[in-house]
Amino acid sequence: MPTEILVKSGTALVWADSTDYSSSVSGLARTAQLDLTSVAAGAARQGAKADLGATRADRFVVLAAIEFASAPTSLEVVDIYWAASPTGTAGNANPGGASGADAAYTGTSGDSLDDSAAQLIRVGPFVVTADGTTTVQYQQVGVLSAVPRYGMPIVYNRATPALVSDATEMFVALIPEIVESQ
């Protein structure tokens, strides 16, 4: 009898804002804090450090939802990064000056934001369309593989406009891909 290797999706880890986020459209429940409200052009925001689990999937699909305050130029980019850490303590052993708390991400002291971001895992670019406010853009940004147990997403707005002034539908999600044989 042949053996099939299948992939199933595990429970998503979702970074979103506790005061604004609504899962009614995405269907994804918030599990960790990330407030993307009004992130300015050229600025970045980091989510709270989270635990991916002692036993975890080897791969995570990374999805994001972004909304702008005004229409960006088509093909501009919001970069999504991952700051991996071997410890669950918020401020310890984080790359690129990440704090482990939901806050503005400014990188390390004395370095530019770009220099500090170079120490992070670049998950991928969220390539935007010229849709203005009220249009939430959804995208699979990339895949994380074989990462340490702890970490946090960092969202770097390289697009021209700021993100919208509420975080109702914005999130970054890691969805475990679990391989099994049958």
User: What is the dihedral sign for C-alpha 67, 68, 72, 78?
Assistant: negative
What pLDDT shows up at residue 134? 85
Task: Quote the number of domains for the chain.
Answer: 1
| Close Cβ partners of 140 (under 8 Å, ≥ 6 residues apart) | 61, 62, 63
Supply the range of the domain harboring residue 65.
5-181
The model scores a pTM over 0.75: yes
| Close Cβ partners of 17 (under 8 Å, ≥ 6 residues apart) | 30, 33, 34, 35, 36, 37, 167, 170
What pLDDT shows up at residue 133? 84
What pLDDT shows up at residue 182? 81
Question: Residue 69: beta bridge partners?
Answer: none
What pLDDT shows up at residue 1? 66
Of the candidates 167, 123, 136, 148, the one whose C-alpha atom is nearest the C-alpha of residue 33 is: 167
pLDDT single digits (tens) 102-144: 999 999 988 999 999 999 999 999 999 999 888 999 999 999 9
